Structure 1
Amino acid sequence: MSVAIIIVFVILALIGMPLAFALGSASLVGLFIGDMSLSVLPQRMMHAIDNFPLMAIPLFMLAGELMVAAGILQRLVDFSNSLIGRVHGGLAHVAIIAGMVLAAVSGAAVASASALGSALIPSMRKQYDSGYSSAVIASAANLGAIIPPSNAMIVYALMAGSTVSVGGLFMAGVIPGIILTVGFGALASLIAWRRQYPLNEAKISLKVIASKTVQALPILLMPIVVVGGIVAGAFTPTEGAAIAVVYALVMGFGVTKELKLSDLPTAMFHAAVTAAMVGALIAFAATITFAFTIDLVPMRLAAWIQSLTDNPHIFLMLVMLLLLAVGMFIESNAAYIMLVPLLAPVAQHFGIDPLLFGFLFVFNLVIGMMTPPVGVLLFVMCGVSKIGLNQLIRSAWPFILLQYVVLVMCILFPDIVTWLPRQLGY
């Protein structure tokens, strides 16, 4: 049964069928071959999405949409520019810092890429070539799935069950996210220096820095309030996402005063469409996971891997290589839904820290969002900047390589990932 499901899913995916349709068709085939009632399908789908933590995804997306509509992104850009706009690669640094802060608001890489690209591409093109500008913004946007809150981590925790907490995964991403941000900045400076990109002509005074900091301070406090509250146990991730929406509304109507009532339907529609896509994938994939469980696939997989090796480090490297290949060809949400229920129990059987395994799993697939041929961020940036995919890939490969270097660091030195969550009691 499990083999038939995989074959049907792969065939439908390869011929270009929508992901939800491919998952649903594979589920039907599995139920039919397994001689199970078709009533299982809606039951498992409803059970999968009737989940309180899952509500955090549309709420965080809505908060990000509202903050962009409220003109908050421009304040972040102005603040970042006042701090570091005069160094080599200044505008690239501005994009990276703005991406880091926006990551702590929206939790979604694609949304961050669209917002940052629309705001910064016109200015960056005046100083840099289009490929480099788009590569920097794609890299900055990729921080959205690493720095908390992260929608990808919410999906992983949901699929992994009770073995890992959302708050713990959020905290696991803090130090690697900071390392990535610093690394992107250093790489941007090196490239700008080697290519002799011009400095930003605007002269920034201490008075301007103070003014821009005051304007950006309410925005900078938002991640502290939301993520800090989740970590402290004051509220759940879903409640924190709802607070982020209220915070964004207050900011838009009361601080920037750029948010209008007419902006709300559009923001809610965009958040609902994206969340519905994720929800549909989770619902259909739940039936496949159920079929795999009935067919004892996780146990068979664990036994097969143990026949190859009983070394947890070798197992971890095999999984990372698998995810590297998967990330190049399969959309990340589908990969979480299909692979987490299979691999997370095996990792636990090998005695691998669930937080470490969960973060490495997410990080590897996050990098896949920038790797061809199915790197979704590459296509988003090609659409925003109107350039060819080949041109973007030539400029993006140093940033992709840097992310893999950080991934290897996290594998070799697990404390980079686990130290902060453990200090906070996770």
Structure 2
Amino acid sequence: MSLLVIFLFLLLAAFGMPLAFSLGVSALGGLILAGFDLSVLPPRIMNSVNSFPLMSIPLFMVTGELMLKAGIMDRLVDFANAFVGRVRGGLAQVALLSGAGLASVSGAAVADASALSATLVPSLKKQYGLGFSTGIVAAAANLGPIIPPSGAMIVYAFMAGSTVSVGGMFMAGVVPGLILVTILMFLCWLIAYLRDYPLVGEKANLANVFRQLRRSLVVFMMPVVVIGGIVGGVFTPTEGAAVGVVYSLLLGFFVTRKLRISDLPGVLLQAAKTSAIVGAMIAYASTVTFLFTIDLLPMKLANMMHGITDNPHIFLVLVALMLIVVGMFLESNAAYIMLVPLFHPIAITYGIDPLHFGFLFVFNLVIGMLTPPVGVVLFVVCGITGVKMGELVRESWPFIAAMYVLLVVCIFVPSIATWLPRSLGY
């Protein structure tokens, strides 16, 4: 029965049906095949989304949209430009640092891709051409779900249950995120050197760096207040997201003064649409998960994996290979909702740290957002900049390869992801 439900979902998704619709039809078909009374469907759907922690998802989305409307990109770019100075690929380095700064307030790759494409690509392409410029922007946008706050990590923690906390997942992404930014910046320098791109920007000036830091400090304080409050136990992730909304409003109205009352309906509508899609998928997936449970699929899958190997590293490599394929064809939120309840319990039976497995799972699917044919970040960048998909993929592959290298290193060196959260008591 479980296999039929999975097949039906993949079939509908392959024919271009919306993922929430595909999950709903799959759940309904599974109940009919199992001979269950369909009246079990409404209460299960209601209970799955009637959750206080889930409120953090729309609130963080509103925060990200408000920060973009508040004009934080200008301040992030000015600070990054002052910090980088006159080096090879300097403008590309600025884009990456701006992406990292934007990731710390938005938590969503798609929103970051939209903002970075619209604001930075016109300047980048004058120096590097459209292909390399869009490749840089796509790689920078993909930092969004890795550096906290991260919407993907919130969804993962919710689907994994009590063994993983949102705060722990946030902290698991900090060190790998900083390492990834460093690797990507080195790659930018190397490509710029090999292609002999011109030097741009002014020499680094310490006084200018501090001046831009003071100007941008109010932006960087938002993740410090929100994430610090969550990690410190001052408030829950949902309360932290609400604090982020208030902070963004104050920043936009009274500091940058670029946010207008007329912007609020559009911000709320965009956040509502995205949240509704995620909520619908979670609602219908709860029924699919219920069918998997009564069909003993997690137990069967665990027995099958243990029959293949008892080595946790080999298990992680097998899951990573599977997620590479999944990430190429399935939207990441659907993958979290469908697969986390199956593989997270199995990882625990292998003795794998839940935060380690959670970070690897998220990181793997985040890379999938850059891989065709269903790389959502690629489509966003192509739609805004007009670059051809083939050219964008050709320029993005060094950054994708670097991300996979870091993923493999994190598989065999768990402390990269777990050291910080475990040091903080998670």
TM-score band by shorter chain is: over 0.9
8 A contact 2:91–2:201 mirrored in 1: no
Closer, same or farther in 2 for the Cα pair 1:419/1:207, shift >3 Å? Answer: closer
Question: What is the one-letter code of the residue matched to 1:234?
Answer: V
Cα deviation digits, residues 90-135 of structure 1 (max 9, x gap)? 1111111111111111110110110111110111111011111111
Is 2:38 the partner of 1:38? yes
Is 2:405 the partner of 1:405? yes
- The count of aligned residue pairs is 426
- Please name the residue that 1:72 is paired with: 72
- Please name the residue that 2:315 is paired with: 315
- Please name the residue that 2:240 is paired with: 240
- Please name the residue that 2:249 is paired with: 249
Distance 1:85 1:205 in 2: 8
Question: What is the one-letter code of the residue matched to 2:335?
Answer: A
Name the SS of the counterpart of 2:261 in structure 1.
coil
Give the fraction of aligned pairs with identical amino acids, expressed as a percent.
60
Gaps of 5+ in 1: none
Distance 2:41 2:137 in 1: 41
1:163 deviates by 1.2
Detail structure 1 runs of 4+ shifted over 4 Å in the superposition: 201-207
8 A contact 2:66–2:267 mirrored in 1: yes
- Which 10-residue stretch deviates more, 95-104 or 80-89? 80-89
- Please name the residue that 1:259 is paired with: 259
- Which 10-residue stretch deviates more, 171-180 or 349-358? 349-358
Gaps of 5+ in 2: none
Distance 1:191 1:313 in 2: 33
Question: What is the one-letter code of the residue matched to 2:130?
Answer: S
8 A contact 1:85–1:93 mirrored in 2: no
Distance 1:201 1:66 in 2: 30
- Please name the residue that 1:367 is paired with: 367
Distance 1:207 1:314 in 2: 51
- Please name the residue that 2:17 is paired with: 17
Superposition pairs for residues 337-352 of structure 1, below 5 Å?
Answer: 337-352=337-352
8 A contact 2:313–2:412 mirrored in 1: no
- Please name the residue that 2:118 is paired with: 118
Closer, same or farther in 2 for the Cα pair 1:34/1:119, shift >3 Å? Answer: same
Name the SS of the counterpart of 1:144 in structure 2.
coil
Question: What is the one-letter code of the residue matched to 1:389?
Answer: M
Question: What is the one-letter code of the residue matched to 1:141?
Answer: A
Cα deviation digits, residues 276-320 of structure 1 (max 9, x gap)? 111111111111001111111101111111222222222111111
Closer, same or farther in 2 for the Cα pair 1:347/1:207, shift >3 Å? Answer: closer
Distance 1:394 1:275 in 2: 32
- Please name the residue that 1:183 is paired with: 183
Name the SS of the counterpart of 1:407 in structure 2.
helix
- Please name the residue that 2:52 is paired with: 52
Name the SS of the counterpart of 2:148 in structure 1.
coil
1:21 deviates by 1.1
- Please name the residue that 1:159 is paired with: 159
Instruction: Give the TM-score, by structure 2 length.
Output: 0.98
Superposition pairs for residues 270-309 of structure 1, below 5 Å?
Answer: 270-309=270-309
Closer, same or farther in 2 for the Cα pair 1:201/1:410, shift >3 Å? Answer: closer
8 A contact 1:289–1:341 mirrored in 2: yes
Name the SS of the counterpart of 1:372 in structure 2.
coil
Cα deviation digits, residues 112-168 of structure 1 (max 9, x gap)? 110111110111111011111111111111111101111101001111111111111
Question: What is the one-letter code of the residue matched to 1:285?
Answer: A
- Please name the residue that 2:390 is paired with: 390
Distance 2:13 2:100 in 1: 33
1:248 deviates by 0.6
